[in-house]
Structure 1
């Protein structure tokens, strides 16, 4: 799971709704996108490291906590009522440092990889315009997560599906997006901490989530964007969604908000806090590449 970070645009690869386009991917779509390397300004880099330092201090202040959930922003999704777009776990390593573990889709491709990296890399340019949302699971869930996210991390890896879709259907194992992997690992940890139930396949986890009344967000995407995705988005597929959603354009998707809502309803969050961003003059939320 400890994969080196590629030197390529972070935001376009990592955000849940980078494309915000919904349709079955065309075979030639991936070749139409080139990775363009981003070069953050000194001001945005300073904001990134400042927020990372604040986050580290906030996590260090938590007593006996070695795993938390982090959510950061990115593309402006306010029209969907969404402030944060990407989830990760933050795990305290044996040397005391905090490392994030999350799923990233590189360069809008239809494939994803699990990454383990520092707080500053995870925050990136979003440190200049969006706060971090931090969720602290209950002790029993933290203990299960720590085992799952520590090498060799067999169970967490087993719940990773490399076939990526930015709008993967929450109750299908055909594709997976970033927030969906985090939700499924959380579900497995909750089930194990409560009664020892071992969930090692995605289908098992999704059945459990249905039984526990997990409710995904419903996002309406217009026809124009759906048609555009057929030609321009290799990482946006809707073949896993029910026909009713494809016809209506109202798609069920795993979002940061839906995950936190689920954890709150299941009473497995011991605490929530936020880490403020550092505004940079003249800078707005970056657009995906």
Structure 2
């Protein structure tokens, strides 16, 4: 019985692995709706001021202390400056967020969903956003790719929280975002070519979780799938994508946006 209870406790601790994704669409808000809407609007304004037509955006869906070492954000997507149709039919400029979301009723699968900044930040654990704005040339390539429906062409609906970015056996939101970026840069949706290029140029994040917990998680939950990895588990994260763009001179600007950071900017303008 003691051994059984130990296994159950370890299995429950595997939930900390799930925290790195935070890629579900639904959830209960932890902040007041007006706080969330205000923060979302501030992120939009900051990005627009940097002349971002399309950029990588990230959020925090779980407490930072539960995240594996090296993982700062839990969900990554692409924000695209668009003409958004309001409920009254009026069109206004703003950012549409192109996401890969884990299905709530079938967590081993995902779908592609477009939502908007307030939706994106609705169930965050912290009002904090990561943004990585590519160079204008890469932004143009990304817009062209999105207009050609490339995101759906490089989408694998078989979901794993710890998907290996070097193969296409499973996929999570961050790997999908990396796929779209590389498809735009290399002008191809050939998955074998994309994965060869990723392996050649992209540095993933080693996942600091005990191998036993990973194995146990993959046994108990299909969305924690380890069989696509050989050796140490390594994943794509917001930070590794940002560093990848910077390493190859494809990054124009990056920032971690918080209410405090925005307040400091405002205060410095007032001095």
**Category of TM-score, reference length = shorter chain:** 0.7 to 0.9
Give 1:174-253 correspondences, 5 Å limit.
174-191=169-186, 198-211=187-200, 213-242=201-230, 245=231, 250-253=232-235
CA separation in 2, counterparts of 1:232 and 1:143?
43
Whether the aligned pair in 1 keeps the contact of 2:20 and 2:71 (CA below 8 Å) is no
SS at match of 1:124: coil
What residue number does 1:259 align with?
A: 241
Aligned pair partner of 1:70 in 30, 35, 57: 57
What residue number does 1:133 align with?
A: 130
1:105 aligns with 2:94: no
CA separation in 1, counterparts of 2:189 and 2:81?
24
SS at match of 2:123: helix
What residue number does 2:72 align with?
A: 83
Aligned pair partner of 2:37 in 39, 46, 49: 49
What residue number does 2:115 align with?
A: 117
CA separation in 2, counterparts of 1:129 and 1:256?
16
Whether the aligned pair in 2 keeps the contact of 1:158 and 1:201 (CA below 8 Å) is no
- Structure 1 residues 68 and 226: CA distance shift in structure 2, 3 A: closer
1:159 aligns with 2:154: yes
CA separation in 1, counterparts of 2:195 and 2:168?
8
- Structure 1 residues 104 and 277: CA distance shift in structure 2, 3 A: farther
TM-score between both structures, scaled by the size of structure 1: 0.72
- Unaligned runs of 5+ residues in structure 1 are 1-15, 22-34, 192-197, 279-289
Whether the aligned pair in 2 keeps the contact of 1:87 and 1:256 (CA below 8 Å) is yes
What residue number does 1:60 align with?
A: 48
Question: How many residues matched?
Answer: 231
How far 1:78 sits from its partner (Å)? 5.0
Whether the aligned pair in 1 keeps the contact of 2:165 and 2:198 (CA below 8 Å) is no
CA separation in 2, counterparts of 1:238 and 1:79?
16
How far does the alpha carbon of each residue in 1:135-191 deviate from its partner, in whole angstroms, 9 at most, with x for none?
1111111011112223xx432211111111111111111111110000111112222
How far 1:38 sits from its partner (Å)? 4.2
Instruction: Please identify runs of 4+ aligned residues in structure 1 that moved more than 3 A.
Output: none
TM-score between both structures, scaled by the size of structure 2: 0.77
SS at match of 1:125: coil
How far 1:277 sits from its partner (Å)? 4.2
- Structure 1 residues 111 and 158: CA distance shift in structure 2, 3 A: same
Whether the aligned pair in 2 keeps the contact of 1:51 and 1:275 (CA below 8 Å) is no
SS at match of 2:112: strand
SS at match of 1:131: strand
Whether the aligned pair in 2 keeps the contact of 1:133 and 1:272 (CA below 8 Å) is yes
SS at match of 2:245: helix
CA separation in 2, counterparts of 1:143 and 1:17?
35
Query: Which structure exhibits the higher relative contact order, with contacts defined as CA atoms closer than 8 Å and separated by 6 or more residues?
Result: 1
